Structure 1
Amino acid sequence: MEQLILDYTNKLQQALSMAAMRQVPVLAAALRDAWRTKRSVFLCGNGGSAGNAVHLANDLLYGVGLNNRSGGLRVEALSANPAVLTCLANDLGYDHIYSEQLRVKAQADDVLVVLSGSGNSANVVKALEVGNQIGMKTFAILGFTGGLCRSLAQHPIHFEMDDMQIAEDLQLMIGHLCMQWLHANPVQSVVASVSSEAAK
């Protein structure tokens, strides 16, 4: 067990020193702009990444806005509603469980964050394709080779690590970094600013 702990922490430290970390401020800035302009943020993934999407949606909704009068971000984990997921999987196919939700809910300049180890799962690939078609700002936090998502995301955050658990840890760490930075750098929304000016 001691050797496993050493190997695991070494791999995590190696990942955190990769060039991919330079893309984290780009994601944080996009999230902050979405917060300011009241745009929506959507997250999705499969398995542990689906769980991470739900976790980070909570952090961006509540943790970011804690002690902030304007509240947190308008954010949704597309993996969170089992009725919607099973309906779309049954009627359209599992490949469409995220892309169809985006077709209905998303608008241009909203933010999509795909979480994936391989970057090759058809449902997240289609989510990025549709997000790009809509005009969303698309990000993907990826491991392994990055797969198809690496070329589809406008802003891939790719860690070339052949370890699914490390890949999933990095998803949460990047989300938590963004959350803490946003909490420390709150915004006044455009809507609130306009209302304030109109009241004068």
Structure 2
Amino acid sequence: MSTPSYNLEHLTTSYVQSLTDVLTQLNAKALALLVDTLLSMREKNGSLYLCGNGGSAANAIHLANDFTFGIHPKGNALKVEALAANSSILTCLGNDIGYDNIFSHQLKVKAKHHDVLLILSGSGNSQNIINAISEANKIGMTTVGILGFDGGKAKALLDQPFHFEIQDMQISEDTQVILGHILMKALYEELKHE
């Protein structure tokens, strides 16, 4: 086994400290508003749509699972769909109408005004994310995002932005899952007696 050319202990300590520091930016009142938004959506039989690119797409699929099962194992959970989960749809739309429209077109076809869009984005600047937010706003959906870096173009377009100012894609993606898991636990507490 070769000796690494970097200090792994320092890398580990630095990463954990950066993640810990950035999580202090989470606003509990804003999170409570999002819980209320999702409960209201559920009462109106609405759906939660999630989207992201790369690791954020994987996080969207992960959280769709948590919101489908984790908040109410008996089935009284949220109606939720990760827009990046169907490779046939993604490749069709990417090929036929362009990658920038892979999420917005799905919303145009499926979404209603009482639904919620949750975007996960490190930069907040991907055109397919901006187009999805624009389409959701046209429909009258509530738009929510978990963003890193400077929040990008997406931040100003969202009804409920959660912005973690961190110049690190991996930590930005970590915040998506952590905030999602906090939401899952909060929704579980809200719904466990139903």
Q: What's the TM-score, normalizing by structure 1?
A: 0.89
Percent identity, aligned pairs only, is 46
Deviating more after overlay: 14-23 vs 160-169: 14-23
Runs (4+) of structure 1 moved beyond 6 Å? none
Report the secondary structure of 1:185's partner residue.
helix
Work out whether residues 109 and 136 of structure 1, in 8 Å CA contact, stay in contact via their aligned partners in 2.
yes
Work out whether residues 36 and 188 of structure 1, in 8 Å CA contact, stay in contact via their aligned partners in 2.
no
Partner of residue 122 from structure 2, selected from 103, 117, 126:
117
Work out whether residues 41 and 73 of structure 1, in 8 Å CA contact, stay in contact via their aligned partners in 2.
yes
Partner of residue 174 from structure 2, selected from 151, 169, 184:
169
Aligned residue identity for 1:29: D
User: 2-side partners of 1:86 and 1:117: how far apart?
Assistant: 23
Size of the alignment, in residue pairs? 187
Q: What's the TM-score, normalizing by structure 2?
A: 0.92
Q: 1:72 corresponds to which residue?
A: 77
Considering only aligned residues, what root-mean-square deviation do their CA atoms show, in Å? 1.6
1:101 aligns with 2:106: yes
Q: 1:88 corresponds to which residue?
A: 93
Structure 1 residue ranges without an equivalent (≥5): 190-200
Q: 1:140 corresponds to which residue?
A: 145
Work out whether residues 103 and 129 of structure 2, in 8 Å CA contact, stay in contact via their aligned partners in 1.
yes
User: 2-side partners of 1:162 and 1:21: how far apart?
Assistant: 22
Q: 1:28 corresponds to which residue?
A: 35
Partner of residue 160 from structure 1, selected from 159, 165, 172:
165
Report the secondary structure of 2:191's partner residue.
coil
Structure 2 residue ranges without an equivalent (≥5): 1-7
Tell me by how many angstroms 1:114 deviates: 0.3
Tell me by how many angstroms 1:24 deviates: 2.0
Partner of residue 59 from structure 2, selected from 52, 63, 66:
52
Deviation per CA, 1:48-107: give whole Å up to 9, x if none: 00000000000000111114xx52100000000000000000000000000000000000
